[in-house]
Amino acid sequence: MELTTTTAIVTGGASGIGAASARALAAEGATVVVADLNAELGEALAAEIGGVFMGLDVTDTDQITTVVEETAKIAPLRALVNSAGIANAIRTIGRDGLLDSAFPLDKFAKVVQVNLIGTFDMIRQAATVMSRNEPDENGGRGAIVNMASVAAFDGQIGQAAYSASKGGIVGLTLPLARDLSGAGIRVNTIAPGLIDTPIYNHFPDPEAFKAQLGAGVLFPKRLGRPDELASMVVELITNDYMNAETIRVDAGIRLPPK
Ligand code: NAI
């Protein structure tokens, strides 16, 4: 798929993998809409890449409507990257036998709301707008890439909510690709391994945590760089024969229990 006359929405585009994807799609010629909660970083990135920042909380369905409709007014919307995501690490039960110490249900729901339901709401609305596009020479009207995680397959202790949300994205990929095939829209998912981004800043002592995680990587023995994920995003958006697939980009890591 050719991107030079199109818009591309990147949710979570202000930081980490989303920001690297926004830069890479802009380098391919797309007008990128950086859609994120973080206006300060998002506006700076949009200015850097000649794109547009739009404030977005992916749990707000009306905000999604505004973003997809406003984007399509700039140029046909043909690409969506769902990179907005949050993580937490909470064990399912406490050590003291008290029900109050069990995983707080609102924290479980929040992760599912942002990562899974937010991703699906973006897809159902963006794909509706894409379905109005003129088909290209292959009959294509758009391409979508989601960010799951290797935790969808080998979630660690404390990752019940995160793994459930990301496993849900993996599960959505084939039925969505089937649903959208008639409209000429492809759907693929990436399962990143351990990528060095600000997502780990919410954990206590992020540098020690990342060093511990990186020790389990097969080869190369380090955390991944966001641009190493962005190159896969570009491939999945532009390669017309990629559809309905989930690809691990993880240097061979298989996460241990902890
Ligand atoms: P990050 O924390 O650097 O960036 C996430 C972005 O999402 C931030 O700019 C944040 O403001 C935005 N965001 C969070 N909640 C939002 C909401 N409700 N609405 C709109 N935007 C929201 O994270 P990173 O590492 O770039 O992660 C990107 C995606 O990749 C996430 O879905 C994450 O779960 C996934 N991933 C990351 C891995 C890693 O090792 N960094 C590993 C596996 C998956």
Could you tell me the residue range of the domain that residue 23 belongs to?
7-249
In this predicted structure, the answer to whether residue 139 has a pLDDT above a threshold of 90 is yes
Query: Does residue 220 have a cis peptide bond before it, meaning omega lies within 30 degrees of 0?
Result: yes
8 A C-beta contact, residue 69 and residue 128: no
Tell whether 2 is covered by a domain: no
Tell whether 1 is covered by a domain: no
Q: What is the pLDDT of residues 62-79, one digit of tens each?
A: 999 999 999 999 999 999
Confidence of residue 200 (pLDDT cuts 50, 70, 90): confident
Tell whether 231 is covered by a domain: yes
Confidence of residue 202 (pLDDT cuts 50, 70, 90): confident
Tell whether 258 is covered by a domain: no
Q: Which two tokens stand for residue 73?
A: 């007014």
Other C-beta atoms closer than 10 Å to the C-beta of 97 total 7
Tell whether 257 is covered by a domain: no
In this predicted structure, the answer to whether residue 201 has a pLDDT above a threshold of 90 is no
Tell whether 204 is covered by a domain: yes
Tell whether 103 is covered by a domain: yes
Q: What whole-number distance in Å separates Cα of residue 163 and Cα of residue 250?
A: 16
Instruction: Write the CATH number for 173.
Output: 3.40.50.720
Other C-beta atoms closer than 10 Å to the C-beta of 44 total 14
**Which residues form the catalytic set?**
162
User: pLDDT value at position 209?
Assistant: 80
Q: Which two tokens stand for residue 153?
A: 């397959």
Confidence of residue 217 (pLDDT cuts 50, 70, 90): very high
In this predicted structure, the answer to whether residue 193 has a pLDDT above a threshold of 90 is yes
Measured over the CA atoms of residue 51, residue 149, residue 124 and residue 2, the dihedral's sign is: positive
Centre of ligand 1 to C-alpha 125, Å, is 20
Q: What whole-number distance in Å separates Cα of residue 241 and Cα of residue 47?
A: 33
Atom of ligand 1 nearest to the CA of 196: 41
User: pLDDT value at position 213?
Assistant: 77
Confidence of residue 24 (pLDDT cuts 50, 70, 90): very high
Centre of ligand 1 to C-alpha 257, Å, is 22
Nearest protein CA to atom 3 of ligand 1, as residue:
16
**Number of domains composing the chain:** 1
Which residues does ligand 1 sit against, CB inside 6 Å?
11-12, 14-18, 36-38, 56-59, 83-87, 114, 118, 147, 149, 192, 194-195, 197-199
Nearest protein CA to atom 32 of ligand 1, as residue:
85
Mutational test site, ligand 1, from 40, 67, 112, 197, max ligand atoms within 8 Å of CB: 197
Tell whether 256 is covered by a domain: no
Centre of ligand 1 to C-alpha 79, Å, is 18
Q: What whole-number distance in Å separates Cα of residue 180 and Cα of residue 170?
A: 16
